[in-house]
Amino acid sequence: MELINNVRIAGGQVHVRGEALFSLAEKDFRSFGRSLYKYLGISYAKFYKMSALSQLGFLASEILLKDHESSGLDPGEVSLVFANSSSSLHSDVIYQESLENKPSPALFVYTLPNIVIGEICIRNGFRGEGVFFIQENFDKEFIFDHAEELISSGRSTLCLAGWLEMDMEGDYLADLSLLI
Amino acid sequence: MGWDTRENLDSVLQGRGGIAICNDRSLSPEDLPVALLDWDELGKRFLGICGKENPKHYTRFEKAGILSVYEALKNSSADPADPECTLILSTTKGNVELLDHPDGFDKGRLHLWKSAQVIADFFGIKNTPVVVSNACVSGVAAMLIGRQMISSGPCKYAIVLGVDLLSRFIVSGFQSFLSLSKQACRPFDSERDGLSLGEAAACVILSRLSGGVELLSGSNISGPSRTGEGLLLAIRSTLGGQEIPKLISAHGTATPYNDEMESIAINRAGLSEVPLNSLKGYFGHTLGAAGIVESIINLEAMKQGLFPATRGFSTLGVSRKINVSNETRTGNPDTLLKIASGFGGCNAAALFKLLPWS
Amino acid sequence: MDELIEKLKVELIEQLNLEDMEPGEIEATAPLFGDGMGLDSIDALEIIVLLEKEYDIKISDPREGKDIMYSVASLAEFIESKRS
Partner-chain residue, chosen from A75, A89, A139, that has the shortest CB–CB distance to B110: A89
Q: How confident is the model over B214-233, as a mean pLDDT?
A: 88
Cα-Cα-Cα-Cα torsion B299, B300, B304, B309, nearest 10 degrees, comes to -70
- pLDDT digit string (tens) for C62-76? 778 888 999 999 999
Percent of chain A with pLDDT over 70: 98
Task: Output the pLDDT for position B253.
Answer: 98
Task: Output the pLDDT for position C60.
Answer: 84
The domain defined by C2-83 folds into 1.10.1200
Cα-Cα-Cα-Cα torsion B234, B236, B238, B239, nearest 10 degrees, comes to 160
Residue A164's DSSP bridge partners are A174
DSSP conformation class of B346:
E
At B88 the three-state DSSP class reads: strand
Angstrom distance (rounded) from CA B323 to CA B21? 29
Task: Output the pLDDT for position C19.
Answer: 80
Whether the Cβ atoms of residue B335 and residue B351 lie closer than 8 Å to each other: yes
In total, how many domains does chain B have? 2
Sort A42 into a burial class: Cβ within 10 Å, 0-12 / 13-18 / 19+. middle
- pLDDT digit string (tens) for B140-155? 999 999 999 999 878 9
Percent of chain B with pLDDT over 70: 99
| Ramachandran quadrant class, A97 (left: phi over 0; alpha: psi -120 to 50; beta: rest) | alpha
Same domain (yes/no): B193, B224: no
Whether the Cβ atoms of residue B65 and residue B21 lie closer than 8 Å to each other: no
Can you give the pTM of this predicted structure? 0.96
Angstrom distance (rounded) from CA C52 to CA C79? 11
Task: Output the pLDDT for position A71.
Answer: 67
Cα-Cα-Cα-Cα torsion B167, B170, B172, B178, nearest 10 degrees, comes to -140
Angstrom distance (rounded) from CA B237 to CA B260? 21
Angstrom distance (rounded) from CA B208 to CA B218? 17
Same domain (yes/no): B314, B300: yes
Same domain (yes/no): B153, B177: yes
Residue of C nearest to A103 (CA): C49
- Work out the minimum CA distance from B179 to partner chain C, whole angstroms: 9
Chain C hits for B176, Cβ within 8 Å? 45, 49
State the chains in contact with A (3 or more Cβ–Cβ pairs under 8 Å).
B, C
At B251 the three-state DSSP class reads: coil
Contact at CB, B178 and C48, closer than 8 angstroms? yes
- Report the DSSP pairing between strands B247-249 and B335-342: parallel
Angstrom distance (rounded) from CA B341 to CA B42? 29
Q: Which amino acid is at C22?
A: E
Contact at CB, B178 and C60, closer than 8 angstroms? yes
Same domain (yes/no): B181, B264: no
Q: Is the pLDDT confidence value at B358 over 60?
A: no
Q: Which residue has the higher pLDDT, C19 or A95?
A: A95
Contact at CB, C45 and A101, closer than 8 angstroms? no
Proportion of chain A in helix, strand, coil states, percent, rounded to 5: 40, 25, 35
Q: How confident is the model over B5-33, as a mean pLDDT?
A: 96
Neighbouring C-beta atoms of residue B240, cutoff 10 Å: 10
Contacts of residue A34, defined as CB under 8 A and 6 or more positions apart, other chains included, come to none
Task: Output the pLDDT for position A34.
Answer: 96
Same domain (yes/no): B290, B339: yes
State the chains in contact with C (3 or more Cβ–Cβ pairs under 8 Å).
A, B
At A101 the three-state DSSP class reads: coil
Q: How confident is the model over B303-319, as a mean pLDDT?
A: 97
CATH number at residue B308: 3.40.47.10
Helix runs in B249-289, H state only = 256-268, 280-283
| B154 cis-preceded (ω within 30 degrees of 0) | yes
Contact at CB, A130 and B175, closer than 8 angstroms? no
Q: Cα dist. A170→A10, A86, A94, A161, C84 in Å?
A: 11, 11, 11, 22, 47
Helix axes B39-49, B60-74, angle to 10 degrees: 60
At A18 the three-state DSSP class reads: coil
Helix runs in B226-311, H state only = 229-239, 256-268, 280-283, 290-303
Contact at CB, A109 and C42, closer than 8 angstroms? yes
Angstrom distance (rounded) from CA A109 to CA A84? 18
Q: Cα dist. B118→B73, B108, B114, B200 in Å?
A: 17, 12, 6, 18
Whether the Cβ atoms of residue B304 and residue B328 lie closer than 8 Å to each other: no
Whether the Cβ atoms of residue B127 and residue B83 lie closer than 8 Å to each other: yes
pLDDT range class, residue B103, cuts 50, 70, 90: very high
Q: How confident is the model over B60-75, as a mean pLDDT?
A: 97
Same domain (yes/no): B124, B270: no
Contacts of residue A19, defined as CB under 8 A and 6 or more positions apart, other chains included, come to none
**Which range has the worst mean pLDDT, A29-33, B209-213, C70-74?**
B209-213
Q: What is the mean pLDDT of chain A?
A: 95
Domain boundary among B179, B207, B235: B207
- Work out the minimum CA distance from A154 to partner chain C, whole angstroms: 35
The dihedral built from the CA positions of residue A124, A129, A134 and A138, taken in this order, carries a sign that is negative
ipTM over 0.95: yes
Q: Is the pLDDT confidence value at B196 over 60?
A: yes
Q: Which amino acid is at C1?
A: M
The domain defined by A3-179 folds into Peroxisomal Thiolase; Chain A, domain 1 (3.40.47)
Same domain (yes/no): B31, B47: yes
List the domain boundaries for chain C. Answer: 2-83
Q: Is the pLDDT confidence value at A54 over 60?
A: yes
Q: How confident is the model over B162-172, as a mean pLDDT?
A: 98
Q: Which C residues, 24 through 63, put their C-beta within 8 Å of a C-beta on chain B?
A: 45, 48-49, 60-63
Same domain (yes/no): B121, B88: yes
Q: What is the span of the domain harbouring residue B183?
A: 5-207
DSSP conformation class of A126:
-
| Residue A162 φ/ψ, nearest 5 degrees | 155, -155
- pLDDT digit string (tens) for B233-267? 999 999 997 789 999 999 999 999 999 999 999 99
Q: Cα dist. B210→B77, B206, B213, B245 in Å?
A: 11, 9, 8, 21
Q: Which amino acid is at C27?
A: E
- What would you measure as the largest C-alpha separation in chain B, in angstroms? 56
